């Protein structure tokens, strides 16, 4: 399926500069030490700052008792933070990706788009082609699943490695699913790729890297040899528009850090506890078909990835980690950032309430989403706490400091991975970004809380595709 006669100058022109990478930068030996030292340091600084603050007094009235015990809101992050810390301490960057062997199974890069950001889609197509030429480890095809629109005519259908699946305007699934779920279900029914092909799901702005291609091939080789045929998931980076949007890139570093934390942990366990990203899902075509597709109806089409994951787990499928990175793109505006978080929150709530699976498959996601709902109230309490001089139980303050430290770890580990992949080698630049990341942590916490608060106050109007 590969077009070996593609014009290399056309493809390579679309390829971003290749950053200098060091695959053995120390995660194998120094990662645990850095995480532990950073966590302990943050806790110590927070406790020390409290000891240097003006002396507090015990609560004397009922309102003051409420203010004191409302500090328990800070502990909403204790469970997810602790699980994330376990995952982060377990994570290791592989040292053997360069040893990945060619595979016979086809890789299908499946890009789903509404067609509104056609420039981004074209960029992703060219990036897939360029990276597969540079790392020719498997036969491949690029599938673009696009809603019927005028922009569909702009796709390079003459490329022999590209297949365009146009979802008709009048197409209606049996359960009346909408948005990306509708397009994914149509593609599942109409794609012509072999049953043994492995599908790598991409959002329109998600682009492969050499490490991802090697990681996918390594994963496919292992799964085909073992016969387990698990659902794979890997880590996402957000550094591509760093120069244009440094603030929101720093804000999204938490997502990369969470990949190394909770998401890595759940994939080590083989079950989806916290959901699944819509991007960087790696699944064999016949396995995906066996799940029945993505026709979940209006209750499951906001975060169709998490809904599908729960159904897959109940059907007996299991998940596993895929090494390597895919690149995504951070939001371009703060409003889009908040809209994105609001959509995720609504979608996960609906998944927990309506996914047709046993409670044991929904309980983990349900607890995680409920604790996430406490985030804006914990942020608000933190602000209010500055204006009161009421004593807070010492144990609560200790665990709250620890919880904050575990989330800070997500940001700094995500930052390091994005800096490494972006090719930022200058020591002073790295120190500057690290300091900015730490100093802006309270701001990012406020933004995350506002997204959830917006979700609690109003429902998202549909899927809300954000500009990227």
pLDDT-derived band at 54 (thresholds 50, 70, 90) equals low
Flag whether pLDDT at 12 surpasses 80: no
Q: Give the model confidence (pLDDT) of 58-112 as tens digits.
A: 777 787 788 888 889 999 999 999 999 999 999 987 778 988 999 999 999 999 9
C-alpha angle with apex 34: 33 to 37, nearest 5 degrees?
A: 80
Q: Cβ contacts of residue 462 below 8 Å, gap of 6+?
A: 178, 179
> What distances in angstroms separate CA 385 from CA 24, 58, 218, 424, one per listed residue?
44, 14, 51, 39
Distance, in Å, from the CA atom of 219 to the CA atom of 234, rounded to the nearest integer, reads 10
Torsion of CA 119, 417, 224, 126, to 10 degrees: 20
Q: Is 13 exposed, middle or buried (0-12, 13-18, 19+ CB in 10 A)?
A: exposed
Q: Give the model confidence (pLDDT) of 161-197 as tens digits.
A: 999 999 999 999 999 999 999 999 999 999 999 999 9
Percent above pLDDT 70 for the chain? 91
Flag whether pLDDT at 205 surpasses 90: yes
Q: Give the model confidence (pLDDT) of 225-262 as tens digits.
A: 999 999 999 999 999 989 899 999 999 999 999 999 99
367: how many CB neighbours lie within 10 A of its CB? 15
Tokens of 285: 């075509």
Closest CA to 311 of 292, 284, 285, 283: 292
Flag whether pLDDT at 295 surpasses 80: yes
> What distances in angstroms separate CA 391 from CA 64, 66, 70, 376, 404, one per listed residue?
9, 11, 11, 22, 19
Which pLDDT value is given to residue 464?
A: 61
First to last CA, the chain: 30
Which pLDDT value is given to residue 224?
A: 97
Mean pLDDT of 26-33: 64
> What distances in angstroms separate CA 380 from CA 76, 320, 386, 447, 453, one per listed residue?
13, 37, 11, 12, 11
Domains of the chain: 1-13+82-460 (3.90.550.10)
């Amino acid at each position: 399926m590969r077009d070996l006669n593609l014009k290399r100058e056309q493809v390579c022109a679309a390829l971003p500069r290749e950053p200098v990478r060091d695959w053995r930068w120390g995660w194998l030996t120094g990662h645990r030490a850095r995480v532990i030292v950073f966590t302990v340091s943050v806790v110590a600084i927070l406790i020390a700052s409290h000891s240097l603050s003006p002396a507090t007094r015990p609560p004397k009235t009922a309102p003051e008792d409420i203010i004191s015990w409302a500090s328990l809101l800070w502990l909403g992050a204790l469970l997810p933070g602790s699980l994330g810390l376990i995952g982060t301490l377990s994570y290791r960057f592989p040292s053997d990706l360069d040893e990945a062997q060619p595979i016979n199974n086809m890789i299908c890069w499946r890009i789903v788009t509404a067609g509104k950001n056609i420039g981004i889609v074209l960029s992703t197509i060219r990036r897939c082609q360029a990276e597969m030429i540079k790392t020719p480890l498997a036969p491949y095809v690029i599938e673009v699943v696009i809603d019927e629109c005028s922009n569909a005519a702009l796709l390079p259908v003459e490329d022999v490695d590209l297949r365009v699946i146009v979802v008709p305007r009048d197409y209606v699934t049996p359960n009346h699913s909408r948005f990306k779920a509708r397009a994914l279900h149509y593609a599942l029914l109409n794609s012509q790729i072999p049953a043994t092909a492995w599908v790598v799901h991409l959002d329109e702005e998600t682009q492969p890297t050499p490490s991802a291609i090697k990681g996918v091939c390594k994963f496919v080789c292992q799964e085909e040899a073992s016969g387990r045929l698990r659902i794979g998931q890997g880590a996402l980076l957000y550094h591509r528009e760093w120069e244009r949007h440094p603030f929101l890139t720093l804000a999204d570093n938490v997502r990369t850090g969470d990949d190394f934390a909770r998401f890595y942990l759940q994939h080590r366990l083989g079950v989806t506890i916290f959901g699944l990203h819509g991007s960087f899902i790696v699944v064999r075509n016949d396995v995906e078909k066996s799940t029945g597709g993505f026709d979940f109806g209006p209750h499951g089409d906001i975060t169709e990835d998490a809904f599908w994951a729960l159904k897959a787990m109940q059907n007996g499928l299991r998940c596993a980690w895929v090494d390597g990175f895919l690149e995504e793109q951070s939001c371009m505006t703060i409003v889009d950032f908040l809209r994105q978080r609001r959509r995720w929150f609504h979608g996960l709530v609906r998944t927990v309430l309506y996914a047709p699976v046993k409670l044991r498959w929904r309980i983990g996601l349900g607890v995680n989403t409920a604790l996430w709902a406490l985030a804006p109230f914990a942020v608000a309490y933190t602000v209010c706490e500055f204006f009161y001089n009421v004593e807070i139980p010492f144990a609560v303050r200790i665990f709250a400091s620890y919880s904050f430290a575990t989330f800070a770890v997500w940001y700094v580990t995500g930052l390091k991975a994005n800096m490494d992949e972006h090719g930022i080698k200058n020591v002073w630049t790295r120190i500057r970004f690290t300091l900015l990341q730490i100093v802006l942590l309270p701001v990012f916490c406020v933004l995350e809380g506002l997204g959830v608060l917006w979700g609690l106050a109003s429902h998202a109007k549909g899927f809300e595709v954000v500009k990227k």
